[in-house]
Amino acid sequence: MTEQSDTRPDGSSPLPAPVREAGEALIKLGASDPELAATLARVFGVVASEAARTPRFARALGKALTPDPQTAPRPAERPRRSRRAPGAIEPFAVFAEYGEAGLRSSLGELDLEQLRDIISEHGMDHDRLAMKWKDPRRVIDRIVERVESRTAKGAAFRGRPEQSATPHGEAGGLKAEDPSA
């Protein structure tokens, strides 16, 4: 059996580096799992043959394998991690259970840094001023304002709260309309 050389007499290779690397990877895989290596080789062979035979398939394959620049993740776009500690309380839960007065009371027990932790955790510093404020009451006002705003957001689509069945001023319930009126 003769071994084919993938190099030219001048020392250069006719195959591009990625193709050579794929072949070498299949050879390495063949040493540990020959069945999988053979299967992958057949799949790659069929796809490559079809792409060589059909230009339309080659273009579609190239397009499918090329990352879309608009949807490809960019390494520089990592989620921001806050260096601050998590908030001492969950302001939305306190507001839902105890209302504005209960939230203000709970926030009043925290120091300025704990208030800033809540601001940071919940992204309440939209204008990038609240983290600079020195007055805890001002920071508390910001937290309450943002919690109320976010809680009320979308209320128009949630429907109205249940109204009483009796119209104002009528104690006996709904009256039937008088047809003679």
| Residues 108-122: tens digit of each pLDDT | 999 999 999 999 999
- If we measure between CA atoms, which residue out of 111, 112, 90, 113 comes closest to residue 102? 90
The predicted model scores a pTM of 0.46
pLDDT digits (tens, 9 = 90+) for 47-85: 889 989 999 988 988 888 887 666 655 555 455 566 888
Q: 106 with 94: CB under 8 angstroms?
A: yes
Over the stretch 12-52, which tens digit does the pLDDT of each residue have? 567 788 888 888 888 998 999 999 989 988 998 898 899 89
Check: CB of residue 30 under 8 Å from CB of residue 23: no
Q: Give the helix, strand, coil percentages of the chain, each rounded to 5.
A: 55, 0, 45
